[in-house]
Structure 1
């Protein structure tokens, strides 16, 4: 596999004969010393939370006020989002988290990703002609992996929190029981998916009262999910994966043609993994390892970019190099990454600055590399359906958490009697190798479905440590999560504020389709013309993820929190 990687870099170098050549001594890997977070001998003295919904942000602060830490607040936020933002995350889905504990500098990646049931059969997701069946991959219980979010909440509370789980779940339970007013995005998501929602009685009863989506200003309650969270809070893991909730989940799934078993639920495990760390221009980035593909891709991109002085380039030149680094990282993303418990991946090679040196030499500074030279296949539109929140508490504990049910409203299937909207994460497997999923991402046998296996994810919760500043950064956005977080990290390194990072215009390249998706206003006309002249195809898109950022200025002893202005219901708050 290493030979294959080297051969690819060599082949590209030979093909691009007119490319700018670099001598080995001209390109140096990042030599910045690791900035150990445990050396920070100060505490903020106050807290900051940024999430996509003000109810969730306030839930986090409520738990902090009860004596909780950032990890208790994280449980409060993720559970509240399950109630008020079900189009993006929930108890029927999963999450990935990067945590930093202030007392000893301990850093850990919490993998609460969904898993494939034991009875998974790739043929269930194929049409008769062997092409992907998008209906079974995206709708109903066959599209759902075993949820990881409830186990993840229980794990964080037990191993990192200060409060009982039920205390941290209390704000979400109250929201579900007493009700809240859905925001316009939730109403729009229900409207968009209503034909699928109507297929299952419990889904229609929850999301289409009186046969139609809820109206703006109406109070909406979720008593079944309130009781599900109460059982989780009272009994921890067993309160969801065994007992009454488990029985109801299994009965509903089986009645609708699904294949979960009691053993699938009981055997679910949260995994603690070592985060990926990369040094870039004196900053230490702590990010997500597989089964997230994001951290590997970001590390590879930053290693490539470390050989250029981006500060001396104009916007077109800088953007061109970032796009070319994205292109190469996504090529490797598609080929090699999967669940580390099932697949041996060449991470030492992919994360090596010397491998990045080879890739860098294939980049022309004046011309785009066609993805067909890497090689190519067809891709679809990237999607935008996940959520992220960032927290720093008064003691300096940090949580960067990205949560999802995959596509908008997940599988559209609610398990009767639980209020739990199931995910449709089975589509994140490479159900058909080298055929795009709903986000246009390609995959190989490394990400093929198997019993108990975790599907590859783009979720990339990250924390950036500098000598004078710390940033907690993440975003939803399907396959664009990776590039949005990358651009957030680059902006943080350039000294931008939390507000500027969350609001900045974005662009994205994912190898296939071979184009640059850009937000309106991302490039001025001169830059757009220059990029087009280099051979890049630009396409404007309207939908982007909602980034939530918290920063800590160590010199000024100041926290800042910003929620993405693209999501008016979000809230970044310092208190």
Structure 2
């Protein structure tokens, strides 16, 4: 595939370090935009920790990456507090309005109304990201929320240069974006669509962030902003209630933990499907020494593990506050051993031979950032508005671009969503329920190294993180992990998707001979962001996905004492 640039911040080699360091030598941040990485570094310089920096990076991304995320959406924050040695998963996933029943998304023929599911007010869940910013700042940060939000407020008020991905995405979604008065006020403020290099200012969004900074949770979910959100949804034909906004709260959940070879892995629990699928795949792969397999057989067994995990994702997973998820079973070594026994060493398993019936028992969309600070605190955060520019609807007077996460529910059981992923009753919408996600923020730790990683990409998030973990296990640097060519399988459709040039012709032919269908010429996908700390050399390393030219990984050394 295309040659990618060298590491942005490769670590200095110190091969003979006598013992593991106990604290990192500074802070490393990798995010999908240089301005958001800079926002995080600004807060570190101001005396903040990784959690304050996470608020700054998240909010800045909400300003400069409206194509991917924003305070009209939601996200997941995986945190490690070094002082208490505690990991916590902050679930800021959007929730379903009471009016958004499955029947509301069917047309007259009983088929899924794709327009209603992905565009405008009906496609939007109650946003969770503003609540996460408040919660993370107040519970884990050391600086006032107003301080951590200041860089994002400045970017919204003063503007930032428009880059090609925003223009391309707008062209894709233009017809939808220009349906709505509030969206036109932001993106057609000068009468023309955004152009590369022009400055995009969002004064209403700056005002909304100022209210959030001053009033906390109430600054978004009650009062002026909430009133404008409710009025906009009603104006465009949707149905939200004031109590659904004011009642939104994040959930703190226990992460999923597992061991793969020498790595302790901490990852996302439901309502993310990512950690469960990741655990199932890695448990399955323990049965092979991947380093000893030739390329076709390595891809084959990884694909077969992906196939089985995505099938279980479809059948079993949903919001654990509403459905019983067989978590212990799906992540157990015994269950993986049973699945492993069904993998033929040289033949593909057709997906339609794996039962798709319920058993008795995130392209450019979405964004991710990773942080390690000098105290050893860590943040792996993935946030999204779902598809490009979410629902396309900006609520007038707020600058808030609403998500279209309702499409991540199984709005019509057995009907694929925009990412081609199916679901059944476990992921059907219900009032206050959180839709299933693929976001997979993760930590991995060995005796020698700690890494933080995650990615956008809809259903392909999980396999990006998987390949990233396997790459760290192979000894690759953070930048090599971010640039690694990708392949993906999700049970249905039954095809291995591969970035153009990601597999050589001989490997593709061998896989086809095993019975796999291989699409070996897809465009690149994802936007992986990762940072790592080598405890033996006591060096920090960052990797930003070269598929996204505006991303940035940076290391800020600690000030000498």
Range class of TM-score, shorter chain: over 0.9
With structure 1 as the length reference, what TM-score do the two structures score?
0.91
Partners of 1:376 and 1:512 within 8 A in 2: no
Q: 1:227 pairs with 196, 207, 218, which one? A: 207
Residue 149 of structure 1 corresponds to 129
**2:50 matches 1:58:** no
**2:383 matches 1:413:** no
Cα drift, residue 208 of structure 1: 2.3
Partners of 1:383 and 1:439 within 8 A in 2: no
Task: Give a deviation string over 1:287-336, Cα, whole Å, max 9, x none.
Answer: 00000000000000000000111111111111100000000000000000
Root-mean-square deviation over aligned CA pairs: 1.2
Residue 263 of structure 1 corresponds to 243
Aligned residues: 533
Structure 1 unpaired stretches of 5+: 1-38
With structure 2 as the length reference, what TM-score do the two structures score?
0.94
SS of the counterpart of 1:366? coil
**2:91 matches 1:111:** yes
SS of the counterpart of 2:482? helix
**2:559 matches 1:573:** no
Take 2:37 and 2:197, find their aligned partners in 1: how far apart are those partners? 20
Alignment of 1:214-363 (within 5 A): 214-363=194-343
SS of the counterpart of 1:47? strand
Partners of 1:177 and 1:221 within 8 A in 2: yes
Residue 3 of structure 2 corresponds to none
Cα drift, residue 218 of structure 1: 1.0
Cα drift, residue 368 of structure 1: 0.3
**2:529 matches 1:548:** yes
Question: Could you tell which deviates more after superposition, 85-94 or 527-536?
Answer: 527-536
Task: Give a deviation string over 1:385-416, Cα, whole Å, max 9, x none.
Answer: 11000000111110000000000000000001
**2:451 matches 1:455:** no
**2:444 matches 1:464:** yes
SS of the counterpart of 2:200? coil
Take 2:499 and 2:64, find their aligned partners in 1: how far apart are those partners? 27
Partners of 1:384 and 1:480 within 8 A in 2: no
Take 2:38 and 2:348, find their aligned partners in 1: how far apart are those partners? 46
Structure 2 unpaired stretches of 5+: 1-18, 557-561
Cα drift, residue 214 of structure 1: 1.4
Residue 17 of structure 1 corresponds to none
Take 1:100 and 1:521, find their aligned partners in 2: how far apart are those partners? 37
Take 2:506 and 2:46, find their aligned partners in 1: how far apart are those partners? 53
Task: Give a deviation string over 1:8-47, Cα, whole Å, max 9, x none.
Answer: xxxxxxxxxxxxxxxxxxxxxxxxxxxxxxx987111211
Residue 559 of structure 1 corresponds to 540
Residue 163 of structure 1 corresponds to 143
Alignment of 1:81-92 (within 5 A): 81-92=61-72
SS of the counterpart of 1:80? helix
Residue 496 of structure 1 corresponds to 476
Take 2:327 and 2:61, find their aligned partners in 1: how far apart are those partners? 33
Cα drift, residue 561 of structure 1: 0.7
Q: 1:193 pairs with 173, 180, 190, which one? A: 173
Cα drift, residue 375 of structure 1: 3.2
Residue 406 of structure 2 corresponds to 426
Cα drift, residue 376 of structure 1: 5.3
Partners of 1:98 and 1:109 within 8 A in 2: yes
Task: Give a deviation string over 1:36-80, Cα, whole Å, max 9, x none.
Answer: xxx987111211100000000000000111100001000001100
Q: 1:481 pairs with 438, 446, 461, which one? A: 461
Task: Give a deviation string over 1:353-404, Cα, whole Å, max 9, x none.
Answer: 0000000000001000000101359xxxx85411000000111110000000
Task: Give a deviation string over 1:496-533, Cα, whole Å, max 9, x none.
Answer: 10010000000000000000000112111111111111
Take 2:234 and 2:292, find their aligned partners in 1: how far apart are those partners? 60
Cα drift, residue 141 of structure 1: 0.8
Q: 2:366 pairs with 374, 386, 390, which one? A: 386
SS of the counterpart of 2:458? coil
SS of the counterpart of 2:199? coil
Divergent runs of 4+, >4 A:
none
